[in-house]
Amino acid sequence: MSPPPAGPAPGADRPARPRSRPGDRTTPRSELARRSSFAEISPEVGVLDADAFDDALAADPDDALALLAEMAGATDESLRAAARRLAGRIVLDRARQGPPRDRGIGRLRAVPADRGGDLDLDASMPAIADARALGRAPALDELTARAWARPELAVCLLVDASGSMGGARLAAAALTAAACAWRAPGDWAVLSFARGVTELRTIGSASPPTDVVDRVLRLRGDGVTALSAALSAAGEQLGRSRAARRVTVLLSDCRASDDVDPVPAAARLDELVVLAPADDCDQAAELAARVGARWAPMQGPADAPAALSELLTR
C-alpha cells in the first residue's frame, strides 16, 4: 500500500508574518523605566505628566530631551501620542536660537523701476507729477517698482541615521531640524541617510516644522553610512533654491562606511557646516579640514540649536 500523501508542514496553511521594518520598532515601558525621571513623568500606563517633564527638563535638559524622544517611540500608544504632541511644542520652543530670517520664498520690495519688477503707480505718482510739471517724461530710475527679493538663506539638513538612533541622537536631530526651520523658514529641507537617502522635507514643501519633527522622531537606525550620496542629494535640494546663501548642515560623526570618498561631493557644495557628537568627532574634524567646512562638537542634544546658530553666523 502506498503511504498517504504528506500533509502540509505545521503552520504552512497560515500566511507568513510580515517582517518588521526598522521604522516599526518601538520602545517598551520596561526600557523607558531605566531612566530615573521616567516614573515621575509617566506614573502609569498611557500617562505623561507635562509638569513633571518640565521639572526634569530644567534639571537635566539633555536627559529629559533624550527621554522625550524615546517616549515618542514608545510601545504604549497613548504615551507615544502624548510624547509626540509634547515634543512638537518643546522642540520648537528650544530651537529658537538666533534671529529668524525672512518668511516665505521671497518678499516684495520697492526698487527703482530700471531694475525690473512691476511698476508701483501709487509710489511713482509724485515722480510722474514732477516730471509732467517740467514738461518731460519721467526717467525709469525715478519711478518705483515692486520686485521679489531673493530669500537670504536656504538650508538642507542631513541626519545620519546609519547607526543606533537612541533618544539623544533623535532629540539632537529633531532640535536641529526645528532650528533649521527657524533660521530659514522659507527654504529648508531635511534628509535622513543610511544605506540610501530619505526625504523628510524637500525645498519648496509646505510641511510645517511640527510634522517634520515628528518624522525625525520616527527614524530608526539602519544600514551603511552613504555619506557621499547624502551630500550629493543635499546639493540637488539646494540647487532648487533662489536663496543668496545655500548651506548644507550635516549632523553626523562623518564616518562613511560605503567605501565612497565623501570629499568630492562635499567640495561641490556652496557651504557645509558639520555638527558632530563631542565624544566621536575626529572624522568630522578631518572632513571639515579637507573641504574648508566649519564644524562644532555637541556635548548633548540641548547644545544643537546654539551650535547651529554659531556655525551659521561665523
**Domain 153-313 class, CATH top level:** alpha beta
| Span 144-149, average pLDDT | 63
pLDDT at 12: 37
pLDDT at 73: 93
pLDDT at 130: 81
pLDDT at 108: 57
- Rounded to the nearest 10 degrees, the angle between the axes of helix 304-313 and helix 167-183 is 40
pLDDT class of 97 with cuts at 50, 70, 90? low
pLDDT at 118: 78
pTM, whole model, 2 decimals? Answer: 0.77
Lowest model confidence (mean pLDDT) among 38-42, 112-116, 196-200 = 112-116
Lowest model confidence (mean pLDDT) among 48-52, 113-117, 255-259 = 113-117
Tens-digit pLDDT profile for residues 36-90:
899 999 999 999 999 999 999 999 999 999 999 999 999 999 999 999 999 999 9
| Residue ranges per structural domain of the chain | 22-94, 107-149, 153-313
Residue at grid coordinates 517582517: 19
5 vs 86, higher pLDDT: 86
Q: Is the pLDDT of residue 99 over 80?
A: no
Q: Is the pLDDT of residue 106 over 50?
A: no
